[in-house]
Structure 1
Amino acid sequence: MSVEKKIHEAEDMPFGMKQLLTSITHLKENEKVLVITDDNTKDIGEFVYKHASRFFETTMICMKQRTNHGEEPPEAVSKAMQNCDVAFGATTMSMFHTKARIESSKLGRMRWVGMQDYEFSMFEKGGLTANFDEIEAEINRVAEHFQGETFRLTSVGGTDMTCSVRGRSPVFDYGTSRKPGSASFPPNAEVALGPVEGTANGILVFDGSIPHPLINVLKEPVICKVEDGNITEITGGKEANILEGILAGYNDPTVYNVAELGLGLNRKNVICGRMAPDEGSYGNIHIGIGKNLNFGGHVDSPLHLDLLIRTVTIEIDGRLIMKEGNLQV
């Protein structure tokens, strides 16, 4: 009996966990699994370790919780990432944009699965139960249209921003890590573009969530003025003040860079204040700020933070890609 069949026949394993070990990673017998966790998410890490270790050689390593998304892990974690076939990053903060993850992926062995900000209910329902083959086909279809020169973003909530995406190619997250060197963040599934530095101008009205431990689902809009590629003013209520404080705390102008335009395409996701479901929620877009090295840019910021806008309309070179949360291509 194949290892995949054994996993699917495990009656005490939630379907979402089965997906992580099969359709999301295509793990094979004799492959080595690494689970990375921290003091705050140890229960999730131990859960993944318990199930993965039944079928694969699995190691778990626990580190001190990072302060912010994109903060580098200890050297021991970086070394371990270079010597595994699949790494599950069950951490509080995202490691996707760290140099450790990027360099490990470039070595061409590790398949990275980000699991930051998970909760146990995600293994039972929601985005992890989606058909990821169907999602991949839709992302590939949309990506053919998700490129050009001038990108205009508007929303029901009042967003109106324009930027150049000239020379920038679509970046995919299918929600799967099936090939050596690949990286994903299931149940997120998206196609993204990196704005050309210095070209974004307008107003961004964030009315979905800001997946950060201090904010999450927004109770009132956070309004950001964007000039020449950077956020120059943040207004709103209490949550706007918290965001302003987070960014000011870096004392680094690069954290205000408009870095990413990420369109969510997993129909099973709903906005809940958790990073992966929110970023991959269908019909919404997240704006990444700070580091843009994964999106064709050259801003190496200490932060990459995503902020979500609901029910968006997207035009590229005048072509309507999405209208009020519904695909037009």
Structure 2
Amino acid sequence: MEKQEYNACETLIHVCAKCKKDEKILIVTDPDSLHIAQALWKAAAEFPNRSLIMMPTQTMHGQEPTALVVAAMLEADVIFRPTKFSISSTEAKRNACKNGARDLNCSDYDERMLKSGGLYVDFEAQEENVTKMSKLIEGDDVVITSPAGTYFTANITDRKSFPQYGRSVVAGQTSSPPDIECAIGANVGTANGIVFIDGSIPHPRLGLITEPIRLEIKNSRIVKIDGGEQAKILSEILAEYDNPSVYHIGEIGVGMNPACELTGRMLEDEGCAGTIHFGIGDDRVFGGNNACPIHLDAVFKNPTMSVNGNIILQDGKLNLK
């Protein structure tokens, strides 16, 4: 393993998880991400109670893992999850955290992410800004625009923010390093507008967006998808589920990691400073109750966002005063 890759794994183990010598550390992986899991395994050589378990590669974010993985997660103190598709929006993860596990989502990692980018930020130094944003993003009415033509509104009354520091250092905490963000859920039926996705949709068939995808949203549901070839692909992906719940818009997330760049990889893209992403599908992590077999993030660039008329993001730049 190269020194940079080892350093990134050391950051995950010692900074993002603060693993203790006697803790039960579980690495959950699949064939597509085994090389990342092996790097973590080697970097965690000093921890005698570490275990690695592999399941088949899944087909979409949000699918439940196998029964043996579920059982192992319930026994772990710390869980690292280098898998191709994320299992963050699953009962398995929620129950493991309820049981006290510190959970770190490492889905869709590649070797480049271990060598440069968001994992090389000073995680602790970013906490103050995320905490400020977690207060500013709460309120009643949200308005989001972008130079591409986005105009989106939603109500968030009584919704609590979900700050993501990229670290899981207390029991029950979950994170997705290098994703540093602050998100909030829109109240059901209140999200409306036109959104132009011009950043990325981290899915094997999409990735970086080359031609903006126009989403028409009514009553928190995508009712129309327009654009070029990638818009057709997104339509196909959602239609394959034959489930109206997959068109739901629940999560509004603000990327806050200045070291991240848009790459088509989910955890880099979600955390990329200067972007907003909407979570399509399952929103239970964000205080909603839309249960479905998919959670897909759609990222757009240079947004302006106001809450109760207070601008907290101006053309992609944070305004945390």
**Counterpart in 1 of 2:191?**
200
- In the TM superposition, what are the counterparts of 1:160-199 in structure 2 within 5 Å? 160-199=151-190
**Counterpart in 2 of 1:23?**
15
1:301 CA displacement: 1.5
Distance 2:57 2:161 in 1: 32
- In the TM superposition, what are the counterparts of 1:6-45 in structure 2 within 5 Å? 14-45=6-37
**Counterpart in 2 of 1:132?**
123
**Counterpart in 2 of 1:3?**
none
Given that 1:32 and 1:85 are in contact with CA atoms closer than 8 Å, whether structure 2 keeps it comes out as: yes
1:242 to 226, 229, 233: 233
Distance 1:116 1:124 in 2: 16
Deviations 1:150-206 (A, max 9, x none): 101111111111010111010111100111111000000111010001111110100
Q: 1:46 to 1:14 in 2, by over 3 A?
A: closer
1:257 aligns with 2:260: no
Given that 1:15 and 1:129 are in contact with CA atoms closer than 8 Å, whether structure 2 keeps it comes out as: no
**Counterpart in 2 of 1:313?**
304
SS at 2:26 equivalent? strand
SS at 2:136 equivalent? coil
**Counterpart in 1 of 2:76?**
84
2:64 to 62, 65, 72: 72
Q: 1:13 to 1:208 in 2, by over 3 A?
A: closer
TM-score with structure 1 setting the length: 0.95
Distance 2:6 2:233 in 1: 36
1:281 to 265, 272, 276: 272
Given that 2:140 and 2:155 are in contact with CA atoms closer than 8 Å, whether structure 1 keeps it comes out as: yes
1:100 aligns with 2:92: yes
1:46 to 38, 43, 59: 38
**Counterpart in 2 of 1:6?**
none
Q: 1:236 to 1:12 in 2, by over 3 A?
A: closer
Given that 1:272 and 1:278 are in contact with CA atoms closer than 8 Å, whether structure 2 keeps it comes out as: yes
The amino acid across from 1:66 in the alignment is: Q
Distance 2:272 2:308 in 1: 25
SS at 1:22 equivalent? helix
The amino acid across from 2:254 in the alignment is: L
1:55 CA displacement: 3.4
Distance 2:58 2:5 in 1: 29
**Counterpart in 2 of 1:148?**
139
Given that 2:9 and 2:39 are in contact with CA atoms closer than 8 Å, whether structure 1 keeps it comes out as: no
1:13 CA displacement: 5.8
Given that 1:13 and 1:51 are in contact with CA atoms closer than 8 Å, whether structure 2 keeps it comes out as: no
What's the Cα RMSD here? 1.3
Distance 2:152 2:219 in 1: 11
Distance 2:219 2:313 in 1: 25
The amino acid across from 2:312 in the alignment is: I
1:310 CA displacement: 0.5
Deviations 1:228-267 (A, max 9, x none): 1100000111111110001001110010110100001010
Structure 1 unaligned blocks of 5 or more = 1-9
The amino acid across from 2:20 in the alignment is: K
Q: 1:11 to 1:45 in 2, by over 3 A?
A: closer
2:314 to 310, 319, 323: 323
1:54 CA displacement: 3.8
SS at 1:102 equivalent? helix
SS at 2:177 equivalent? coil
Structure 2 unaligned blocks of 5 or more = none
Aligned length in residues = 319
Distance 2:51 2:34 in 1: 13
Given that 2:5 and 2:111 are in contact with CA atoms closer than 8 Å, whether structure 1 keeps it comes out as: no
1:227 aligns with 2:235: no
Given that 2:104 and 2:174 are in contact with CA atoms closer than 8 Å, whether structure 1 keeps it comes out as: yes
1:63 to 55, 63, 66: 55
**Counterpart in 2 of 1:123?**
114
1:14 CA displacement: 2.8
The amino acid across from 2:50 in the alignment is: T
1:317 CA displacement: 1.0
**Counterpart in 2 of 1:294?**
285
Percent identity for Structure 1 against Structure 2: 35
Distance 1:56 1:35 in 2: 13
SS at 2:8 equivalent? helix
TM-score with structure 2 setting the length: 0.97
